[in-house]
A and B are shown apart, each in its own frame.
Chain A
């Protein structure tokens, strides 16, 4: 279960792992901040898991928030957090996948997910999910603090 960054740099992620993605969806759905989960484009041949977050938990400036999840049979993944605020977006992405210019496991920080940093997330699907959900809970709290200060 080690990262093997050097040896694996040119290896693809393998196919999507819908068994793991379904568990991630079902367990995420019990989180108070997660409104629902669904497969996109459909359940017949899913290509991504979408966790819709409860927009009413955020200050009113946030219109919608979601996490797009891809999990692969090799243990590679993407967790992409997107917050819509009017025409603007706040986003970041946790990833474990072949990357030629960064470690296989990495984080693209907000607000535009363009930079890249080392990621402290674990390897297992539930560890990754729980860490991301905790991050979202802190994010929602911070948004309220910011909106209280500016009020």
Chain B
């Protein structure tokens, strides 16, 4: 029997990649790594389990991350945490404005606006939230799958258009429009 089967996560604690992560990263860094992927509120003990640390260690790191605005805290008995989406969006906008000229960002924005126009036409609605996906029973599997993938791509395009518009404004405000040779990659 070949061993080319799916990876088995049942013994995660003993696995090499996780063990290395635990050895090389501090508790605070591991909690940060975990929180970057937490989009739904979770308790400190759930986060501790994912970060391979004690609940107190997780709470301590989460308190610091909340003070920095990186995570969002809700309630108190028990408190629940998730990543602060607006922090990560702000960070991405700032990084884009740091690393690219307004002209380069605008060029990419134009591509996305064209892709968005194509998607509006193909779905026949102005907005991804207005798309209805028919029940799948008896439908053509491949067609349904393609439609769901296009819808997901449309949501990505919409999100990037919004962030790129903000990044263009930031780059312009810094007076870098076309005059900064530092990076248009």
Spell out A's residues near B (CB within 8 Å): 1, 9-20, 22-23, 27, 30-31, 42-45, 47, 71-73, 75, 92, 94, 97-101, 107, 109-111, 117-122, 124-135, 137-139, 142
B135 touches A130 (CB 8 A): no
Contacts of A138 in B (CB 8 A): 3
Contacts of B34 in A (CB 8 A): 124, 126
Q: Which of B14-37 contact A (CB under 8 A)?
A: 15-18, 20-21, 24, 33-34, 36-37
Binding stretch for chain A, among B53-61, B72-80, B149-157: B149-157
Q: Which of B138-154 contact A (CB under 8 A)?
A: 139, 141, 144-145, 148-149, 151-152
Contacts of B3 in A (CB 8 A): 138, 142
Contacts of B136 in A (CB 8 A): 9-10, 100
Spell out B's residues near A (CB within 8 Å): 3-10, 12, 15-18, 20-21, 24, 33-34, 36-37, 39-40, 50, 83, 88, 92, 96, 99-100, 104-105, 108, 111-112, 133-136, 139, 141, 144-145, 148-149, 151-152, 155-156, 158-160, 164, 185
Picked from A44, A94, A110, the residue with its CB within 8 Å of the CB of B105 is A44
Contacts of A18 in B (CB 8 A): 92
Picked from A12, A23, A132, the residue with its CB within 8 Å of the CB of B37 is A23
Contacts of B133 in A (CB 8 A): 10-12
Q: Which residue of A lies closest to B183 (CB)?
A: A43
Rounded to whole angstroms, the CA-CA distance of A122 and B13 in the bound complex is 13
Contacts of A47 in B (CB 8 A): 156
A122 touches B12 (CB 8 A): yes
Given A101-B141, A126-B33, A110 and B4 touching (CB < 8 A)?
yes
B145 touches A100 (CB 8 A): yes
Picked from A31, A44, A45, A125, the residue with its CB within 8 Å of the CB of B20 is A31
Q: Which residue of B lies closest to A94 (CB)?
A: B6
